[in-house]
Amino acid sequence: PSCRRYVAGGRCKSTARLEGKVVIITGANTGIGKETARDLAQRGKVIIACRDIAKGEAAASEIRAETGNQQVIVKKLDLADTKSIREFAEKFLAEEKELHILINNAGVMLCPYSKTADGFEMHLGVNHLGHFLLTFLLLERLKQSAPARIVNVSSLAHHGGRIRFHDLHGEKSYNRGLAYCHSKLANVLFTRELARRLQGKLLYFAIGTKVTANALHPGSVYSELVRHSFVMTWLWKIFSFFLKTPCEGAQTSIYCAVAKELDSVTGQYFSDCQPAYVSPRGRDDETAKKLWSVSCELLGIQWD
């Protein structure tokens, strides 16, 4: 029915091949990450970076069987622990000489108040800081392999977010719905500032690195992301007809990763495989710059 077609939204029509190219997708053992991996495995080498190795292997063997591509590899990555992120990056850099596409897809949503191994509020820690650090550690390899792309999975929920610098870790007040929105706004701001830095302007010449960074809203997807909320799980079941399947939800991630027409597009935000509206807070360059320096401070890194 046409209603279902409307819900499905845009599809990625690109037939681009990724022979000889390497893709990392975080959290690709389930949901839209897994569907993104399934599609990209038909095009090239895919590394599934996830916390649960058993689930990751189950997803990978299913994808290998379906695509006939044996180059679907699972690596341990826990974004709630900077030690795990550093170990993942170190191993990857030792084993792989190239990296062409990094899809920062993993995320948590509606968690009861909790902290990461490093004491960050869970949504901010996993959804923003974990991916911020991962991107930092892999950026040189992306630059060496350019043209390369960084794809950050954000959400329409960024419209409800604000960066509360006075209470980043929700110690003064915490609302799990808002904490998710704040972290998704952080994804948009990170993408914006990263793209600006990667373009680089020297005198009047753009000395761009040929590494692009874009963010996206996958749509409202029927997935495990709401598992922490009984009410949302229940609502998701009732309204599943009006939600995208994980495969439909993965389309914009795939589009941002492979579409030819995005070769030199950077710093943008997409939904349904087309540019989408970003909230005024998501376009605030001052906040983006401040978030960048605060993130570096929290992670103990220097990223100039």
| Partner residues linked to 48 by β-bridges | 25, 74
Residue 90 host element (H or E): helix 82-95
User: Which of 180, 222, 255, 269 is the catalytic position?
Assistant: 180
Chain centroid offset of residue 277 CA:
18
Amino acid at position 21, single letter: K
pLDDT digits (tens, 9 = 90+) for 247-265: 999 999 999 999 999 999 9
222 belongs to the catalytic site: no
Contacting residues for 80 by C-beta, under 8 A, at least 6 apart = 51, 116, 117, 122, 125, 126, 130
**Integer Cα distance of 250 and 14 in angstroms:** 13
Rounded to 10 degrees, the C-alpha dihedral 37/41/47/52 comes to: 50
C-alpha to C-alpha distance for 238 and 258, rounded to whole angstroms? 34
Q: What is the pLDDT of residues 213-259, one digit of tens each?
A: 999 999 876 555 556 556 666 565 665 556 778 899 999 999 999 99
Ordered domains of the chain (ranges, CATH): 15-298 (3.40.50.720)
pTM: 0.93
Tens place of pLDDT for every residue, the chain, 304 residues?
566 566 678 899 999 999 999 999 999 999 999 999 999 999 999 999 999 999 999 999 999 999 999 999 999 999 999 999 999 999 999 999 999 999 999 999 889 999 999 999 999 999 999 999 999 999 999 999 999 999 999 999 999 999 999 999 999 999 998 999 999 999 999 999 999 999 875 545 555 679 999 999 998 765 555 565 566 665 656 655 567 788 999 999 999 999 999 999 999 999 999 999 999 999 999 999 999 999 999 999 999 8
Nearest to 105 by CA among 44, 33, 57, 186: 33
- Burial of 202 per CB tally in 10 Å (0-12, 13-18, 19+): exposed
**What is the pLDDT at residue 239?**
58
223 within 8 A of 246, measured Cβ to Cβ: yes
> Please, what is the Cα angle at 196 between 218 and 143, to 5 degrees?
85
Cis peptide preceding 280, ω within 30 of 0: no
